[in-house]
Copies of this chain bind each other. A is one copy, B any other.
Amino acid sequence: MEQIFTDEFFMKKALQEAETAFEKGEIPVGAVIVIDNRVIAKSHNLTELLHDVTAHAEMQAITSAANFLGGKYLKDCTLYVTLEPCQMCAGALYWSQISKIVYGASDENRGFQKMGTQLHPKTVVVSGVLEKECALLMRAFFRNKR
């Protein structure tokens, strides 16, 4: 039987969120959080609309998933996000003890890998899922801005 619930499957959902951000004039980053193949949180960047640097897609998804679960730890959860998390979001993910992080495009300048932000030792990281699609959306956004 063909596998339905792949990383690509859930990253497509994160990409849909990123597209919604794009349409609102926000830097197009989208995220979903999944437990047992079920999406329990979805969000997109809203920093401009909310005038709030903390309103990254990941931060909203963490709050939303914890709210759904009724507890602050995201053990057994996977975050799918179209862009590599920044220091702030990786720092929040550290506290959440999330099991897995899957991201699409890398952020060579401000991504947590370059910045050296520590994740929880139990967190597994997968990168490059639908990388081209995620990166294309970012490039289209910044091209429009110039």
Binding site for B on A (CB under 8 A): 47-48, 50-54, 59, 62-63, 66-67, 69-73, 86-92, 94-96, 115-118
* Cross-interface CB contact of A117 among B70, B72, B91, cutoff 8 Å: B91
Q: Would you call A52 and B47 a contact (CB within 8 A)?
A: no
Copies of this chain present in the complex amount to 2
Q: Would you call B118 and A118 a contact (CB within 8 A)?
A: no
Chain B residue, CB-CB nearest to A88: B91
Chain B residue, CB-CB nearest to A94: B87
Contacts of A72 in B (CB 8 A): 47-48, 50-53
Known contacts A51-B69, A87-B90; 12 further A-B pairs (Cβ under 8 A): A48-B72, A51-B67, A51-B72, A52-B63, A53-B72, A54-B54, A88-B88, A88-B94, A88-B95, A115-B117, A116-B116, A117-B117
Chain B residue, CB-CB nearest to A70: B51
Q: Given the known A-B contacts A117-B115, A117-B117, are A71 and B51 also in contact in the complex, defined by CB atoms under 8 Å?
A: yes
